Chains A and B, each alone.
Chain A
Amino acid sequence: MTQPTPSAADAALIAALTAEYAAVYAYGSIGVHLPAAGQRAARAAEAAHRSRRDALVLQLSNAGGSVPADRAGYALPFPVIDQASAVRLAIEVEERTGAFWRAALPVTTGGERSRALAALTDCALRATRWRRTAGVTPLTVPFPGRPG
């Protein structure tokens, strides 16, 4: 039996779910390279991504669509070998995940859109805090989540 084609909103949320899976995986490599305060921030960020992941799994399951499974591993964009590369990855994870939530905005409405905006904003805030940790300036970007 073929699965029904997901709506544009479901497709965007499925894409966001795969990004959240990858974010949770990436944070497993980040915290171990950081001092205590950074480890706490990484744990909080990982918990936030787990929470979004779980909410998406529940929402997509309740809607009756197919929910992609988590994978055993995800390719990281570069090796994480020390504090600097760990923080750089944290910034990139938040920027990339935020882009998926931004892409969900045009295809959602009401509460779904509000949740997507909250997720985009949370990613942008964590990226800002990680830039501060890394000593990157400016701390902010003009259009969080926008490609390019």
Chain B
Amino acid sequence: MALGGTAAAVTGCGLFGREDAPDPAADPLAPLLAGALELAARHRIAVDGDPTLSDRLSPIAEAHRAHAAELARLTGATPSPTPPTPTGGVPTGDATAVLTTLREAERQGREAADQACAQAPAERAALLGSIAAARATHVEALK
């Protein structure tokens, strides 16, 4: 009787229901996912403004989108079909100025990923480490 009552209570609490699914927006990696999409958008906008930068920037934008897809899978988030508008303005000016702006954004993104990796549970550490290392290489590639 007691066992049945417990089982009913557990089922009643929605153990397997969607209302108990973790909220992706509350996941500690939600800001990193948003940051990956924003970085991708920055590179895309820079290419739109200066298509001669495409060979350099498109692979980096693609990497950020791949990072976002992995982070979304990990957190259960559904990426928005609309790319975000980068906060703090979009990269403008001549190619040198654009690359400087992007380098700074990548440097900040790398710091965020470093921190996320340091604080992550074991099962997330390798992916976050790769994202942090990738962002460091983006800074190098934009020199």
Q: What residues of chain A have their CB less than 8 Å away from a CB belonging to chain B?
A: 98, 102-103, 105-107, 113-114, 116-117, 120-121, 123-125, 127-129, 132, 137-146
Contact = CB atoms under 8 A, between A and B. Distances in A.
B130 interface: yes
Chain B interface, DSSP helix/strand/loop, else mixed = helix
A143 B133 CA distance: 8
Contacts of B7: none
B133 A120 contact: yes
Contact of A125 (B62, B118, B137): B137
Given A121-B133, A124-B137, A142 B122 contact: no
A140 B141 contact: yes
B138 A145 contact: no
B129 A105 contact: yes
How many B residues touch the partner, as a band?
A: 20 to 34
Contacts of A114: 118
A106 B134 CA distance: 18
A135 B130 CA distance: 23
Contacts of B138: 140
A98 B129 CA distance: 11
